[in-house]
Amino acid sequence: MTETARPVPGHFYLWSGLGLLVAVALYVFWQAPQPNRTVLVVGGYLLSVLFYFGAVRYPHWYWQALVRWYHQLGSPRHFYRISGVLLPYLVALSGGLLLVGLIWGLAFSPPHHEQGNSYRIIYLHVPAASGAMMGYMAMGICGLVSLVWRMKMAEVAIKAIAPFGATLAAVALITGAIWGRPTWGTYWIWDARLTSMLILFFMYLGVMGLQNAIADPRQAGRAASLLSLVGIINVVIVRYSVDWWHSLHQGSSMSIFGAGGSQIHPSMLAPLLISMFGTYFLFAVAVLIRTRTEVLWRERRSRWVKEVLR
């Protein structure tokens, strides 16, 4: 599997230089809000370079690595080993980022020009909400993988994601309610975002309930896979339908990030982004802990578990 190092060909520089130019031009002329633009353009460029090296230049190595990675992830034994190596780093990373982000947001970032200090709830609220949303998306993708390729690890992952996702959704709802009190004058509004987060919370509960109701783990896993896949379509439709519904009845103008995009001052954006990434890593930590437990339990009769526990 060792590929002899080939010299980087000249036309690579040509194409990547052109790509860089296009990226810069996009960045300059694009009308999107600034932080989104930066992330998208830089991320897109890096991804395209990765894709070039992987899929175009060294396709053989790329596919081999992908297939091997997929198989290792799909095999409980390898997953247990790799996740055990990864876990301490993830714990350190998430703990560090959350500590820095939350303390920075609470004590060091400036207050909001209209809301004063109450806006500081954003540093917990937005990471929790986006984590809950991304968690459901991940669950839906795992559902697809488990239904199409019958991959055991994907079923286990769904079971592991649901509890933490539900907790994040609950945290987003509670902190949002507390934030709403000083800002809007009420704990609860049937705003599009709040309503869809509430539905998301219910859908997490549904997946957990279905998991618990079916005794056979394989069957429970596949049932939850189908439900989370159907749920993903629902989450998208609910998001739009509630928006529409409000354009019929009352304003969804209270939402924080409207269609016009958000403009957050860098002194507030930095801690927000840091605590967001901290939350994502914490999500990974929680999912890995639960997945490892479940894997050990499901594979308890196999030899490798006995060796691990010894």
Partner 1 sequence: MYFESWSALWQMGTHGPYVWSAFGIGVALIAANVAWALWHSRTVRADLKRQLQRQAMQEKP
Partner 2 sequence: MSVFAATLRRELLLGLRTPAEIINPLFFFVVVVSLFPLALTPSPETLRLLAPGVVWVAALLAVMLSLDSLFRRDEECGALEQLLVAPGELYLPVLARLCAHWLLTGLPLVLVAPLLGYMTYLPVEVLDTLWQSLLLGTPALTVIGAIGAALTVSVRRGGILLALLVLPLYVPVLVFGAGSVGRALDGMEVSSVLAVLGAILALAVSLGPFAVALGLRISSGD
Partner 3 sequence: MNPVRKQRLLIVLGAFAGVALAVGLLLYAISGNINLFYTPQQVVSGEAPVGQRMRVGGLVVDGTVRRDAESLKVQFDITDGAGSFTVYYQGILPDLFREGQGVVANGTLVSQQRFEATEVLAKHDETYMPPEVQDALERAGHPAAAGGV
Please report whether residue 265 would count as binding partner 1 according to CB under 8 A: no
Q: Which is nearer to partner 2, 248 or 309 (CB)?
A: 248
Q: Measured on CA atoms in the order 87, 275, 200, 166, is the torsion positive or negative?
A: positive
# binding residues, partner 1 (CB under 8 A): 41
Give, as ranges, the residues between 171 and 190 that touch partner 1 (CB under 8 A).
Answer: 171, 174-175, 178-179, 181-182
The number of CA neighbours under 13 Å toward the Cβ of 169 is 24
Say whether residue 130 binds partner 3 (CB under 8 A). Answer: no
Give the Cβ contact number of residue 218 at 10 Å: 13
State in angstroms the smallest separation of the CB of 172 from partner 1.
8
What whole-number distance in Å separates Cα of residue 129 and Cα of residue 222?
27
Whole-angstrom distance, CA of residue 277 vs CA of residue 93 = 9
For the bound state, the minimum distance from the C-beta of residue 9 to partner 1, rounded and expressed in Å, comes to: 48
- Looking up tokens 């790509």, which residue turns up? 19
Binding mask 178-207 for partner 3 (x = CB under 8 A): -----xxx----------------------
Is 286 exposed, middle or buried, given 0-12, 13-18 or 19+ CB atoms closer than 10 A? buried
Q: Is 212 in the site for partner 3 (CB under 8 A)?
A: no
Nearer to partner 3, 151 or 172 (CB): 172
171 in Cβ contact with 128 (< 8 Å): yes
Q: Of 82-90, 91-99, 108-116, 208-216, which segment contacts partner 3 by CB under 8 A?
A: 108-116
Two structure tokens written together for 283: 């999500």
Does 303 bind partner 1 (CB under 8 A)? Our answer is: no
Stretch in the footprint of partner 1 (CB under 8 A) among 45-53, 78-86, 104-112, 240-248 = 104-112
Find the distance separating the first CA and the last CA of the chain, reported in whole Å: 33
Residues binding partner 3 (CB under 8 A): 110-114, 119, 122, 183-185, 244, 247-251, 253-258, 260-265, 267-269
